[in-house]
Structure 1
Amino acid sequence: MADAVHTLAPGLGDVEAVAVRDGVVVALGSRADARAWSTEATRVVDLGAAAVTPGLVDGHLHPISGLELASGVNLSACVDLDDVRAALAAAAPTGEEGWVSGWALDPNLFGDVEPHGGVLDEACPGRPVFVMLFDAHSAIVSQRALSLAEIAGEQEFGDASRIAVDGEGAPTGLLLENQAMRLVESIMPRATFDERVDQLHGLLRGMATTGITGAHVMDMHDADALDLLEAAELAGDLGIRLRISPMCLPGMTDAEMADLIALQGRSGRRWVVEGVKLMIDGTIDNGTAWLREPDTRGESTDPLWLDPAEYAERVAFLHAAGVPTATHAIGDRAIEFVVRTLAGLPRTGVQHRVEHIETLPDDVLAVFVEAGIAASMQPTHCTHYTRADQTDNWSVRLGRERADRAWRIGDLRAAGVTVALGSDWPVAPYDARASLADAVLRRPALKPDVDPVLPAQALSARQALEGYTSHVFASIGEEGGTLAVGSPADLAAFALDPLTADPDDFAGAEVLMTLIDGVPVIGRERFGPAVVENGEEVSA
């Protein structure tokens, strides 16, 4: 029970009490109703002035590959390159020779200069260093790392990955997109399998502490990803549910495509393989997005798939097999190509989705609406990495007209498009409370002095909550993310009400409980001693 229970169920409204048996919601009502439901075998938990919502579901993140992507020194707090040098030097004690790594580096720290590995050589002379930029689509590496990976200049890849070189053809240390980065990543030491199992458990439990009960996982790059999940569940329940969409990559064979389809439905207790993830372009910050017109540096002119027709063929193949897709599309030309491809598919009820959607023209938004395509967006990408005055790298590359179309979440919702929200961790922090606040504020939570970016695109508090609940389910063609009789008892309880509290206050609000199937992941101590009836634990 709580002062506010937001069911988000159509026609049901808010209540004060939820009854749960065998992991399912069996009744909803007032506190008076709850007293009438109670028996000696009922456990009653009254949270007082708290607010209960359906469990939050992050619509896009990378908890498996992210264990590697987010390794080493977290550089997100660095405000200039001196900070970067100091943080890396502190991680590389004098006299040692091993690898140094970092992540979440903001390219804006380089100013008008393209990111390069020189700063790493200054911080850690003679050491192999690998630092992932915040978008996880690029990295900078030291000269020693280039030497160990035998990178001496440009190379050809099966997609639009690239090794940046100077005027004389020598690599600068900037590696763009996955195939280029893997040249170095593949020779770096990594955590053991057992260490990764422990790390995954810790990461997912951390997510649960912010009210998250589930997530859509947009990767399965690691060859042992399923082994990792199975081993993790042998060690104990995962902290949240995972819906995993493995990657369809350029150049995949028909046999590999058949394998993707064969994986569908493979599952454990709290994870399942559903859907397929594709990427049609890279990122604007790197110059690897796909734009209608070049960016201000003359870049972002090509798709990640060297042959876009191959992408269209693969999507049609998956659609015919009944497999929903989620496609990373950031630039305006990329978004247009994807939504027109999806709009041309037979209307068979398979729900497809587009991820990120960073700069969206009006004519392409209209196709979203007409074709019933869902959107998946990350409020903190806008609020953390762009600025209202458009002096950031993303905005400068696009120019004012295209930057004025940044993350049009409000316009998409107003047009009736289903919009799932998420974090894209490790690109941005996974804390769902801050993401909800950022969606409303259009600036970083807890930073009231920062000007909002295009505030007309702000969501209402209810729309933001729907983006982490009912709209996440609708974006994959499923019902869920509401509290109704018969729904799974996945719940989150907050000390403050996300629909009425000041967003900054809610971003720091205590999460009192998260429940999956009625079982507390966070807040078990609030349940008190277990009540057992006919050999089964009963909760209410």
Structure 2
Amino acid sequence: MSPDLVLLSARLLDPGTGSLLPHTALAAGDGRITHLGDDREIRALAGPATTVIDLKGAVVTAGFTDGHLHPVSGAERTMGVDLSACRDLADVRAALAGPAAALAPGGWLRGWGLDPNTFGDAPVAAASLGPVLDGVPALIDLFDGHSMLASARALEQAGVDGPRRFEQAAEIVCDETGRPTGLLLEDAACELVEAVARRPTGDELRARTAEVLREMAATGLTGGHAMDANGATLDILGALEGDGELPLRLRVAPWCQPGADAEAVDGLVRQQGTGGRLWQVAGVKMFMDGTIDNGTAWLESPDCHGESRDAFWPDPDQYRRVVGALHRAGVPTATHAIGDAAVRHVLDSVERAQAETPAADGATVRHRVEHIETVPDDTVPRFARLGVAASMQPTHCCEYTRADHTDNWSRRLGEERASRAFRCRDLWDAGARVVLGSDWPIAPYPPLGVMAGARHRRPGDLSRPPHGPEQALTPLRALRGITLNPAWVAGEEHRAGRLAVGYRADLTVLADNPLDVADADLAGLPVLLTVVAGRPTHRAAGI
């Protein structure tokens, strides 16, 4: 039987060794690599229906997988005004003014990517944006994805006129008179206003998601670990795959929120393994805290404002019990834990679950912690000992913190804790599996940019100094963090993440060897071809 795809005149880079294989060509069929060899013998395998591509010396490596992203909910959130390039309040006001003036009667102004550092010493409040939002129902996502800024008109339409109590650690921030400032912290508070805001139709969201996924494929992404299944996510993925428009392989983890009872947990267990050929529900996403920038992280000592004292789960022991139930059912968990107390509690909970339910017949449940922004020395070696993956987003450190610690994140933590930021290298050296991702739409998704950030720890302006250069990863480690390690945490290391016969034909083709390209140049390395299950999902001109 002839292969579906043949790639010739290639340099084949294996992330396992960091070396080029002795072969110059590969063939793929039925979604897997079927042959490796020289051009002549692999070309001879091609049939009339085989796609044959001469790569002219380009480098083929295992497909890039983003270890943490939100493709569908992110597609919806990024349909508004992009504020991620704004550096001060004047920039924000200017970016919003035109769209606000152009709103149709009854329309809502949406924005995303707002950095709290743009407020400087002013409060993060709707009033700080001045008259641009007067009379306009506006809802703006802050960059962390855990907070929103609602205008006075939006709060009025939602009937939000003062503080409220929530089952989770959420807050409607109010001034000293008890009036809302517009800042909404965490989902339960944000949802009050989102419920009355205009939402895209199903067709609009499906089209936007398809657009986002095509753009992701063009950056070399072949897959991603999608950390939510909210709303219509699963229906949209199924529809896109049914229409042949799903260009990424997606592993989806639905949320488990505080208050989940045994029936809800059983429902999550039953949902595991459902999906299609390229997407599947696998794992459960949980939250142990919020964010440092918002004061909603869980720290062992409060931040400089006396905030970040509490867990996201009002009863942390309930979280532990849910982790235990999921572990017994063989379901891996991915827990958002940013602060040192949150990370410690997740590791304690996994350790107890493992002790109560030892692995049988060599089976393992690979749990993971997401973000891990600041942890003390005694926490670092526990990841390897427990087999817990460290899922990290180095571009968060690059783009939202500063080497001189004058940013909001660092000021809140203080010098000691800000100096142990995003400890990628320490965790790797201690034996942890470090999985790299973007957390898009929190940070840009191009995987070469993610790897570059892990290597140089600098913001987009490379003239600025790195934050914690001692935590930088080597080029090979950065490559493994977006190929081999995502495969490992998914339990797929024997069929994904490497270039070998029998492995998935999920491939990323680059103009040059990423291990040889300078850190500062890596993000601009051209992506020539992206292949998922043996099918090209992106092909640059001239290839």
**Matching residue within 412, 418, 423 for 1:408:** 423
Residue 499 of structure 1, aligned match among 510, 515, 519: 515
Whole-Å Cα distance in 2 between the matches of residues 418 and 120 of structure 1?
A: 43
Paired residue for 2:534?
Answer: 518
RMSD: 1.9
Query: Taking structure 1 as the reference length, what is the TM-score of the superposition?
Result: 0.93
How many equivalent pairs are there? 525
Q: Which stretch of the first structure deviates more once superposed, 32-41 or 496-505?
A: 32-41
| Aligned mate of 1:465, from 462, 471, 479 | 479
SS at match of 1:163: strand
Which range is displaced more, 435-444 or 13-22?
Answer: 13-22
How is 1:81-480 mapped onto 2 (pairs within 5 angstroms)?
81-93=89-101, 96-97=104-105, 98-120=107-129, 122-222=131-231, 224-346=232-354, 347-348=358-359, 349-445=364-460, 447-479=461-493, 480=496
Cα gap change, 1:9 to 1:18, in 2 (>3 Å): farther
Shift of 1:487: 0.7
Q: Residue 344 of structure 1 aligns to a residue in which SS?
A: helix
Higher mean Cα deviation, 175-184 or 345-354?
Answer: 345-354
Q: What are the Cα deviations for residues 21-80 of structure 1, in whole angstroms up to 9, with x where unaligned?
A: 232212223446646766788654221232111110000011121123223100011111
* Deviation of 1:459 (Å): 0.6
Matched AA of 2:311 = P
Equivalent-residue separation in structure 2 for 1:26 and 1:95 (angstroms): 55
Q: Equivalences for 1:51-62 in 2 at 5 Å?
A: 51-62=59-70
Q: For residue 126 of structure 1, what is the amino acid of its counterpart?
A: G
Note closer, same or farther for the CA distance 1:75–1:524 as it changes in structure 2 (3 Å cut).
Answer: closer
Q: Report the equivalent of 1:530.
A: none
CA change 1:17–1:137 in 2 (3 A) is same
The amino acid that maps onto 1:145 is A
Q: Letter of the 1:320 partner, please give it.
A: R
SS in 2 for 1:388: coil
Aligned partners of 1:11, 1:428: CA distance in 2, in Å?
27
Q: Is the 8 A contact 1:121 1:142 kept in 2?
A: no
**Segment of structure 1 superposing worse, 328-337 or 510-519:** 510-519
CA 1:22 to 1:469, structure 2 compared with 1: closer, same or farther past 3 Å? same
Deviation at 1:478, TM superposition (A): 2.5
Fraction of identical pairs, as percent: 48
* Secondary structure, aligned partner of 2:71: coil
Within 1, Cα distance between the matches of 2:459 and 2:58?
A: 24
* 1:508 Cα deviation after fit: 1.3
How far apart in 2 are the matches of 1:163 and 1:337?
26
Give the Cα–Cα distance (whole angstroms) in 2 for the partners of residues 522 and 482 of structure 1: 20
- CA distance in 2 between partners of 1:94 and 1:62 (Å): 29
The CA distance in 2 between the partners of 1:45 and 1:67, in whole Å, is 32
Deviations 1:97-132, CA, capped at 9 Å, x for gaps: 421110000000112333101134521311111111
Partner SS state of residue 85, structure 1: helix
Deviations 1:444-476 (A, max 9, x none): 35x320111110111111111111100011123
Instruction: Report how far residue 406 of structure 1 moved.
Output: 0.3
Paired letter, 1:250? P
Corresponding letter in the other structure for 2:118: L
- C-alpha spacing 1:525/1:299, structure 2 compared with 1 (3 Å): same
CA distance in 2, matches of 1:237, 1:84: 35
Q: How far did 1:244 drift?
A: 0.3
Classify the secondary structure of the residue corresponding to 1:305: coil
The alpha-carbon deviation at position 256 of structure 1 amounts to 1.4
Q: 1:235 to 1:36 in 2, by over 3 A?
A: closer
Post-superposition offset of 1:168: 1.0
Provide the rounded CA distance (Å) in 2 between the counterparts of 1:93 and 1:326. 42
User: For residue 184 of structure 2, what is the amino acid of its counterpart?
Assistant: L
Tell me which of 524, 528, 538 is aligned to 1:508: 524
3-state SS in 2 of match to 1:345: helix
| Amino acid in structure 2 at the alignment position of 1:494 | L
Cα contact 1:383–1:442 (8 A) shared by 2: yes
Deviation at 1:257, TM superposition (A): 1.3
Runs of 5+ in structure 1 lacking a partner? 528-540
Contact persistence 2:61–2:507 (CA under 8 A): yes
Query: What's the TM-score, normalizing by structure 2?
Result: 0.93
Find the aligned partners of 2:37 and 2:398 in 1 and give their Cα distance: 38
Q: Is the 8 A contact 2:213 2:246 kept in 1?
A: yes
Is the CA contact 1:158–1:251 (under 8 Å) kept in the aligned structure 2? yes
Does structure 2 conserve the Cα–Cα contact (< 8 Å) formed by 1:490 and 1:515?
A: yes
SS at match of 2:100: coil
Q: What is the deviation of 1:83?
A: 1.0
Return the alpha-carbon distance in structure 2 between the equivalents of residues 231 and 523 of structure 1.
23
- How far apart are the structure 2 equivalents of 1:258 and 1:344? 20
The CA deviation at 1:423 is 0.4
Structure 1 residue 237 displacement after superposition: 3.0
Name the stretch that deviates more: 343-352 or 358-367: 343-352
CA distance in 1, matches of 2:47, 2:75: 46
- For residues 155 and 71 of structure 1, what CA distance do their matches in structure 2 show? 29
Distance (Å, rounded) in 2 between the aligned partners of 1:3 and 1:518: 16
